[in-house]
Amino acid sequence: MLKNVCLFFLTLFSFAFGVGEAAEDESNQLLSADTCFRSPFGSYSEWVSMITASTSQRLDDEAEIQERVDNFRSQFPEEDFEHYRQTLDCQTFRYHSGDALVNGYVIRPKDADSELPVIIYNRGGNGNYGSVNMARMAGDLFPLAEEGFIVIGTQYRGTFEREPEYHDEFGGADVEDVTRLLELLPEIPNADMDRIGMLGTSRGAMQSYLALKDSSQVKALVTIAGNVDLLKDLETRPEMERVYEGRIPNYDTNKEDELRKRSAIHWISEINSDIPILLLHGEEDERVNARNSVAMAEELARLGREYKFVLYSNDGHDLSENKEVAFHEVIKWFDTHLQ
């Protein structure tokens, strides 16, 4: 029950990003920057009130409503929220990526007095589904920043836009939304340009591999439940065809080539061989089959690349049964390779 409730909140509530006209000389700036801790996240009580009101609109049973709100409080305790609000600087912003204006965010320790390593976080999902909201930040990204990292990420083009001019192409033009963050890092206080890592979850692993084809700045990569062979994945999750048809340009006429372009298993040798790669996957993952990471580990071994592969038995897509252990694997990997 709790897992389903958390997924509900993770996918439903998103930040309202400021929208405005941007001048030509703003191409390398963070635009419309604002704190993440603004309404409806200005206080814990305000956040809970939003959760309660939204849940009440969907459910009629008072007991069930209260159970879900109590589960939310258990998953995201007030003391954790207040701690993060006091110790972390969290900003949302907009930035140029090609002709698109894209939403992003950055999280950093408030008390930083020296340069800090950077983690570029590439989210999963597509479009608004899987977007990074306060629940995702509090559950996954604030803990990373607490370990002494600056965490920056993109929502991908078109996300949170009512009538977007540019759309998430699931590994197409949206990959530039990731690589552009590297050019924006000098705008971030305390960001160490020589210590940059990348973390991709689910579809975000695909984004990471694609971004690394064009970048030599990233020093280490971590993927969680990463997809590396989209065509083969259709055998176990054929419903993804609808996503591909709706998002990937030329899919109807060039299906195999377009999926191959997005499948790192076919071209991992093109990525800088000095980048160490950590692969984490749940053996029971029903969204991205674990054979993706198994195959990538085998290919990295064949190429003689530095990597580590951890397969968690009896765990699924979100590694919910091994969350703490997996978190420490990620921290150890970046601590080791972003010296």
> Tokens standing for 316?
């699924």
Q: What is the pLDDT of residue 162?
A: 87
**Domain range annotation of the chain:** 2-337
Residue-by-residue DSSP string for 154-183: E--TTTT-SS-SS---SSSTTHHHHHHHHH
Q: How far is CA 279 from CA 12, 166, 204, 219, 262, in A?
A: 28, 31, 13, 15, 18
CATH T-level fold of 2-337: Rossmann fold (3.40.50)
pLDDT digits (tens, 9 = 90+) for 290-339: 999 999 999 999 999 999 999 999 999 999 999 999 999 999 999 999 98
What's the burial of 124, exposed, middle or buried (CB within 10 Å: 0-12/13-18/19+)? Answer: buried
Q: How far is CA 92 from CA 159, 263, 322, in A?
A: 13, 30, 29
Q: What is the pLDDT of residue 45?
A: 96
Cβ neighbours, 10 Å, residue 57 = 9
> Tokens standing for 159?
């996300």
Backbone torsions φ then ψ of 77, nearest 5 degrees: -65, 150
Q: How far is CA 206 from CA 70, 146, 226, 266, in A?
A: 36, 26, 7, 12
Q: What is the pLDDT of residue 26?
A: 64
Query: Minimal CA–CA distance to 133: which of 51, 226, 55, 16?
Result: 16
Beta bridge partner(s), residue 90: 107
Q: How far is CA 265 from CA 70, 204, 268, 297, in A?
A: 43, 15, 6, 10
Q: What is the pLDDT of residue 27?
A: 67
> Tokens standing for 336?
């080791």
Q: What is the pLDDT of residue 262?
A: 98
pLDDT by residue for the chain (339 residues), tens only, comes to 334 444 344 434 455 444 444 444 566 789 999 999 999 999 999 999 999 999 999 999 999 999 999 999 999 999 999 999 999 999 999 999 999 999 999 999 998 999 999 999 999 999 999 999 999 999 999 999 999 999 999 999 999 998 899 999 999 999 999 999 999 999 999 999 999 999 999 999 999 999 999 888 999 999 999 999 999 999 999 999 999 999 999 999 999 999 999 999 999 999 999 999 999 999 999 999 999 999 999 999 999 999 999 999 999 999 999 999 999 999 999 999 998
Length of the chain: 339
Beta bridge partner(s), residue 178: none
Q: Tokens 């198994």 belong to which residue?
A: 294
